[in-house]
């Protein structure tokens, strides 16, 4: 038996995760792509090991017997029930069991458990769900399928309330231009605390149940992405409207009015579109095969949030205002 298919299998498991050990047809297709028309016997026995329950047993080894005896019994059972009637040698079954055991053992180091108290873990979970579903599968094998609910509900809460919180908090700190005089900064800080309360309440209550995290993440991602992108568009519209006037006072009034209208339009549209396509996105997440649309949405979400942070807290608005006033003059 040639070890080349074993090496290719190891590479595939690194890319797609141990979920391939449960999906015989997909694993067979990927192995044929890697190995071409050669090594048909090796691929045949590796795939039959999946169908014969060998990989499932290797992923859940017993703790009450020696590994050597258990592996020998597993090989014997696999050979007698799936290969012997084909006239194949027992060494073939032993090679298949050893190959899968070696490949899966390389993936045996469990990931660090996610914490609801560490915000960076929200992004880790989001990255797994949208870009690397195989990592999520490895995590589920280590901690159970429902464990991500603990962090998932806080992720969803952050996706929903975070984009709303940034401009309001920045207004309370006096970092954004043209805050109306009859709306002192304390009002914006009060709104910020109310939004924090909404974030805590949403994250605490969450929505526990089968598939609920995927559905909520789908809505949260699409809302956060759509609102973030439309918010950027709202800012551009506000400046295009305001730059038509030359005086500072008129610029401020025009900017504030255009900004408020565009902001709320962005919010309403984000909620509507996110609700409309939630089920479609949810299905791609549950199937562990995120579509190109979902991955693009992730990139747009990150880009929009980075822009909002720059605009609100790093002097982005002042920079744009100065450019706009220069154009107006």
Which residues of the chain have a pLDDT value below 70? 63-66, 106-111, 134, 141, 145, 177-183, 206-215, 217-218, 238, 240-260, 262, 277-291, 293-294, 321, 323-329
**Structure confidence at residue 208 (pLDDT):** 45
pLDDT at 193: 92
pTM over 0.75: no
- The answer to whether residues 139 and 114 touch, using CB atoms and an 8 Å cutoff, is yes
Cβ proximity of 255 and 239 under 8 Å: yes
Q: What tens digit of pLDDT does each residue of 23-65 get?
A: 889 889 888 888 888 888 999 999 999 998 888 888 777 766 6
Question: Which string of DSSP letters, residue by residue, matches 158-226?
Answer: HHHHHHHHHHHHHHHTT-SS---TTS-HHHHHHHHHHHHHHHHHHHHH---STTHHHHHHHHHHHHHHH
Between helices 90-105 and 4-16, what is the axis angle to 10°?
30
- Spans of all domains in the chain: 4-105, 119-328
| Backbone phi, psi, residue 288, to 5° | 60, 25
């Amino acid at each position: 038996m040639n070890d080349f298919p074993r090496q290719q299998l190891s590479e595939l498991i690194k890319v797609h995760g141990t979920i391939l050990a449960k999906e015989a047809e997909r694993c067979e297709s990927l192995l044929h792509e890697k190995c071409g028309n050669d090594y048909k016997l090796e691929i045949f026995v590796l795939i039959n090991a999946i169908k014969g329950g060998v990989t499932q047993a290797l992923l859940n080894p017993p703790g009450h017997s020696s590994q050597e005896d258990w592996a020998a019994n597993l090989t014997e059972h696999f050979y007698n029930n799936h290969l012997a009637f084909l006239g194949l040698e027992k060494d073939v079954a032993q090679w298949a069991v050893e190959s899968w055991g070696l490949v899966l053992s390389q993936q045996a180091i469990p990931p660090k458990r996610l914490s609801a108290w560490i915000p960076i873990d929200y992004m880790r979970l989001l990255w797994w769900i949208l870009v690397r579903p195989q990592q999520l599968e490895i995590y589920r094998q280590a901690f159970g399928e429902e464990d991500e609910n603990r962090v998932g509900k806080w992720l969803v809460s952050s996706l929903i309330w975070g984009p709303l919180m940034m401009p309001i908090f920045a207004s309370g700190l006096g970092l954004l231009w043209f805050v109306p005089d009859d709306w002192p900064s304390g009002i914006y800080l009060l709104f910020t605390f109310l939004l924090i309360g909404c974030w805590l309440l949403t994250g605490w209550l969450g929505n526990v149940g089968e598939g609920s995290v995927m559905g909520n993440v789908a809505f949260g991602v699409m809302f956060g992405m759509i609102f973030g992108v439309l918010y950027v568009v709202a800012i551009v519209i506000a400046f295009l409207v305001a730059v038509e006037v030359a005086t500072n006072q008129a610029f401020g009034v025009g900017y504030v009015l255009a900004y408020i209208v565009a902001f709320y339009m962005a919010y309403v549209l984000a909620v509507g579109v996110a609700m409309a396509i939630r089920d479609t996105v949810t299905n791609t997440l549950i199937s562990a095969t995120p579509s190109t649309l979902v991955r693009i949405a992730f990139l747009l979400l990150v880009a929009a949030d980075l822009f909002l942070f720059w605009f609100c807290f790093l002097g982005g608005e002042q920079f744009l205002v100065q450019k706009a006033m220069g154009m107006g003059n």
